[in-house]
Amino acid sequence: MEQERMEIKLSKGKTLLTFLGAVAFVVLGIWMINQADGQHRYPPMILKAIGYVSIIFFGAAAVFIFYKLLDVKPGLILDDEGIHDNSNASSAQLIKWEQVKGIRIKQVMSTKFILIDIHDPQGFVANIGGLKKRLMMGNYKMYGTPVSITSTSLKCNTNYLFKVISERMMSEHKRNESKQAPLQSP
pLDDT at 127: 80
pLDDT at 165: 92
Burial class for 124, CB neighbours closer than 10 Å (0-12, 13-18, 19+): buried
Q: At what angle do helices 12-35 and 44-70 cross, to 10 degrees?
A: 160
Q: How many CA atoms lie within 13 Å of 60's alpha carbon, on the beta-carbon side? A: 7
Low-confidence ranges of the chain (pLDDT < 50): 185
> pTM surpassing 0.85?
no
pLDDT at 183: 52
Domain ranges of the chain: 11-70, 76-178
pLDDT at 181: 53
CA pair distance 110, 156, nearest whole angstrom: 16
pLDDT at 92: 65
